[in-house]
Amino acid sequence: MIDHRTLRVALLGAGSVGSQVARLLLEHGDDLAERSGASLELSGILVRDLDAPRDVELPRELLTTDAENLIVGADIVIELMGGIEPARTHILTALNSGADVVTGNKALLAAHGAEIFDAADQVGASVSYEAAVAGAIPIIRPLKDSLAGDRIVRIFGIVNGSTNFILDKMDREGLSAEEAQRIATDLGYLEADPTLDLEGYDAAQKAAILASLAFHTEVAMEHVHREGIESITADMIEGARRAGFVIKLLAVCERLPGADGEDESISVRVYPALISRDHPLATVHGGNNAVFVEAEAAGPLMFYGAGAGGVQTASAVLGDVVSAARRHIAGGVGVGESARQSLPTAEIGRITTRYQITLEVSDEQGVLATIAGILNDGGVSAATVEQTVDDEGTARIVIGTHRAREQALSDTVARLAQSDVVERVASVLRVEGE
Ligand code: NDP
Ligand code: HSE
């Protein structure tokens, strides 16, 4: 048996993910030592409440509320507390005292990533964060390492498990949004503050992290266009189904080539969108995540699996811990983040995609001609038009557009809303994945 050097590992947080990381570190110590070349000694676990009930039984003597004492002297600090403070301060303390850091904290990285990565660069330490995006799915390392020789053009996918669970329940079981949300809450799928999931903040934080990495550009949260699933109704899900689509909350990060005197820019956005039922994303059910990466040389790649869950996410954390341990043993500086390109982030009005517009209209002659005229004046071309009248006598027109610029589309929808023949714009959804 090789006599490995011992590295002290401090764990901050023993919740859903942290308790599983602690368990695996304690149970698989020998295996992890073989893989990392270091004996990983769990030196302590920071918690708020020493007596709080825990899903996993942890040695009582490892629990502590003394952050400073635990962090200073550690070789690797794993931050799994969540939130901004005191997580940010603890990570900066860890880096400044020579430790490598592993974190799953997307909220912190989306808000303070630049500060943390700069601090790591200053001391030559590494900050790893595979667990921060899409739970167990390896997506950060492929973007950072495996695809480092390629040029990423587009990333899009489902990066929030709880909203996917809700939309999937509505689609497959015909539940209302309220019923599906109640089940998600009962199963503990939603964050303590559910608006983080429902209003798309969690997905936007992950999109900001992915775009920063893929396009070598710091992407601030305020530059991520964000729409959540609050407005999605059972009627909209049913309408999508009839038209051969499913509604998914998507994160889209893409390069926009310069055109008509515009510079190359990037677009980072989160919104519920229509996906063809034939598309692989349509078959991502429950709380799972899936991310498509399109790279110039590699072409399209798909990453799929558990986007959350304590033990699943612990797998991603431990992969980072093994890498950090290898770096610590080998010496040399950690591989920093690259923000060399500094591409501007485009307003949502610059994107082009297809749209589906659902209008409630007066059921009389000439309505279609009026609507066609407004579309034509706005430079939006219709690919499909379907008119139905339901049992209550409400006439609906569903227009599928050809690709259009978002700005032209939203101006046109505003004019439709003002038109005498349109009673209500029932929904406007983007169509993605084509
Ligand atoms: P939990 O809320 O389950 O656990 C948080 C832990 O941190 C608890 O043990 C808590 O202590 C401790 N803690 C929080 N604040 C403090 C503080 N001020 N001082 C000391 N200890 C503190 O979080 P999760 O395990 O769910 O998530 C951890 C991180 O992983 C988050 O950043 C999250 O976004 C990320 N993540 C989570 C996923 C998941 O599926 N849960 C998936 C992917 C990423 P105590 O137990 O005493 O209350
Ligand atoms: N709230 C997140 C989700 C947890 O639903 O995906 C995992 O990051």
DSSP H helical ranges for 148-233: 161-173, 177-186, 195-198, 201-215
Query: What mean pLDDT comes out for the span 381-397?
Result: 90
Banded model confidence at residue 434, pLDDT cuts 50, 70, 90: confident
What pLDDT is recorded for position 163?
98
What pLDDT is recorded for position 363?
83
For the CA of 47, the nearest ligand? 1
Of 342, 319, 310, 81, the C-alpha closest to 211 is 342
Atom of ligand 2 nearest to the CA of 133: 8
pLDDT above 70 (res 2): no
Torsions phi, psi for 402 (to 5 deg)? -75, 180
Helix (H) or strand (E) segment spanning residue 375: helix 367-378
197 lines ligand 2 (CB under 6 A): yes
Residue 290 or residue 258, greater confidence: 290
Q: Indicate the CATH number for domain 140-306.
A: 3.30.360.10
pLDDT in tens, 260-282: 777 899 999 999 999 999 999 99
pLDDT in tens, 131-186: 999 999 999 999 999 999 999 999 999 999 999 999 999 999 999 999 999 999 99
Report yes or no: 198 and 187 within 8 Å, Cβ to Cβ: no
160 lines ligand 2 (CB under 6 A): yes
Cα of 21 from ligand 1 centre, angstroms: 12
Of 141, 119, 113, the C-alpha closest to 221 is 113
Percent of the chain with pLDDT over 90: 89
Q: Would you list the domain boundaries of the chain? A: 5-136+311-330, 140-306, 351-432
Q: Evaluate whether 140-306 and 351-432 have a shared fold.
A: no
Query: What mean pLDDT comes out for the span 412-425?
Result: 96
Beta bridge partners of 399: 357, 385
Strands 352-361 and 299-306: unpaired
pLDDT above 70 (res 1): no
Banded model confidence at residue 285, pLDDT cuts 50, 70, 90: very high
Helix (H, G, I), strand (E, B) or coil at 134: coil
Atom of ligand 1 nearest to the CA of 316: 43
State in words which class domain 5-136+311-330 has: alpha beta
pLDDT in tens, 17-34: 999 999 999 999 999 999
For the CA of 197, the nearest ligand? 2
What type of residue sits at position 394? T
Q: Indicate the CATH number for domain 351-432.
A: 3.30.70.260
Does the active-site annotation cover 206? yes
Report yes or no: 14 and 305 within 8 Å, Cβ to Cβ: no
Atom of ligand 1 nearest to the CA of 85: 18
135 lines ligand 2 (CB under 6 A): yes
Query: What mean pLDDT comes out for the span 219-237?
Result: 97
Active-site residue identified among 144, 169, 206, 248: 206
Helix (H, G, I), strand (E, B) or coil at 257: coil
What pLDDT is recorded for position 140?
97
Tokens of 356: 């589906």
What pLDDT is recorded for position 399?
97
124 lines ligand 1 (CB under 6 A): no
